[in-house]
Amino acid sequence: MTVGVDPRRERPKPFADDWGAPGTPRPPTTIANPLGAAGRAETPAFARTSVGGRFRRYEIEELAGVANVDGRGGMDLSSDGAEIAFAWDRSGAYEIYSAPLAGDRIIQLTGAGAASRAPRWSPDARWLAFLRAEGDGGTALWLVDRDGERERRLTDASGYRDHEWSPDGTRIAVVDGAGDIHVLDPESGKDERIASGSAPRWSPDGASILFTARGSATGDLGVVPAHGGAARALDTREGKSGASSEGRWSPDGTTIAFTTDVRGHPEVAFAQVRDGSVVRVERLGATPFEDTDPVWRRDGRGVIYRRHADGSVMLRRAFTVSHDDDGVADLPGVHRAQCVAPDSETVVAVLSQATRPGDVVMRARGAIAIARVTSSLSGRVDPASLVEPVSLPLGGSFALVYVPHAEAGEARSLVTYQRTAQREWDPVAQLLANAGHVVVVSDAARLDIAALARDLAAAGVATRGSVRVDAPSPRTYADRAERLEAVRRIVSGAGGTTGG
């Protein structure tokens, strides 16, 4: 049989050859080769860069005093996908704000002057449940209405956390300071303890609650009837050593997406559940990355999860059936608290970057660019004048090295402090680099400072001695004054912030 070919018909152009096609700032299909083209390990680019007239010296207040959206406490998207609620310390203390995704209005809902965090919409979007700091660091569960006109306290301040509304909006599951899970009725005030653990998640029918077991030798998930009864362990590990956490029900209640480390590092998995028992577990696939925190698409076809790589935490999408996987938001930085809109494509998250504090960002359906819903960085601070750290592999770990710009003057001390190396907003590192110090951030047990100093000198960045400072991992302080004081103390211990 002869197959005829029409000579006038053009051969389809593969996507890889279509260089005019739209792309993301960092194509998610591209993975850097750590060995380089010649099979040798790449040498970190320690050379000092120049930003010309955009460089300027910053005072502590200018960097440590900027606003920040709280990503660690999470945020929430209303059930209709129209409005996002989040905590922001724009006024000095963390308060609850809301913002419609279509438009540029931002509404402040609380104004107590005490840290208010972790807002969660009721299913009818009339109320927000949130946590407010009171007394000696304890937190209580509160309600505020959509317009910010009425507030109501639901619990004492014994350290409540991990709260979630029931699907019908009549009850709230919450974890107290002792690690016990309670179900509260906001109308009657009824409070029933049902289990011990964390991260309670209601089943779609409201009949049961999934949670991460506390003190479990098996490190597995559990499920308990929402009206009380015996809790039941779910075997999501298939008899292997390790732990399962961060479980969430699929919209149809047949599958649980969760994080597991049975293969030695965190990865995303799915457990199919039938009659209260796990019948099958599937993992996305072996990768060298840490993959965590899966959140379901509203259509139930897949999840949006977080991938940890090279100090950044990016958002990716994976489907349950095909396990096809691609990037959603891959700007350098740390993405947290991702929410998925009803269209299953629009994704909202909090993004903190080395040169920008936390902001609410959105990738709309069909869009490539990431849009900022909030703008935390002061107009007096130019992100280009700040330093993007260089990643330095250290065996099974790595460090982030902040090399000061050429305009900062002669390099001063080599400053090190031990914490998780992530490309998130760190005013300590930026202030010290701005003053001419080389800053090394790493949680490696052993860091060869002398070898690092030699590598820097070979690249033309000579340092004068080394200093170690006690700097905790960047976190959301109770208010801006607390953050300023902490940064001032740390920076002073490293030799101040002025060059010379």
401/353 same-domain check = no
196/339 same-domain check = yes
Position 466 scores a pLDDT of: 86
367/473 same-domain check = no
The domain boundary residue, chosen from 310, 345, 372? 372
pLDDT in tens, 314-333: 999 999 999 999 999 999 99
499, burial (CB in 10 Å: exposed 0-12, middle 13-18, buried 19+): middle
Q: In this model, does residue 280 exceed pLDDT 60? A: yes
Residue 480 within any structural domain of the chain: yes
351/409 same-domain check = no
Q: How confident is the model at residue 248 (pLDDT cuts 50, 70, 90)?
A: very high
User: What is the average pLDDT across 23-30?
Assistant: 47
Residue 7 within any structural domain of the chain: no
308/414 same-domain check = no
Q: At what angle do helices 427-434 and 480-493 cross, to 10 degrees?
A: 40
Position 320 scores a pLDDT of: 93
What are the phi and psi torsion angles at 465 (to 5°)? 80, 175
Interatomic CA distance for residues 497 and 454, integer angstroms = 24
pLDDT in tens, 353-392: 999 999 999 999 988 899 999 999 999 999 999 999 998 8
297/346 same-domain check = yes
The domain boundary residue, chosen from 372, 391, 406? 372
Print the domain residue range for 464. Answer: 42-63+383-493
Position 405 scores a pLDDT of: 94
367/445 same-domain check = no
Interatomic CA distance for residues 171 and 485, integer angstroms = 40
What is the value of pTM for the model shown? 0.87
Q: In this model, does residue 103 exceed pLDDT 70? A: yes
**What are 292's strand-pairing partners?**
306
Question: What number of other Cβ atoms are within 10 A of residue 287's Cβ?
Answer: 14
Q: How confident is the model at residue 5 (pLDDT cuts 50, 70, 90)?
A: very low
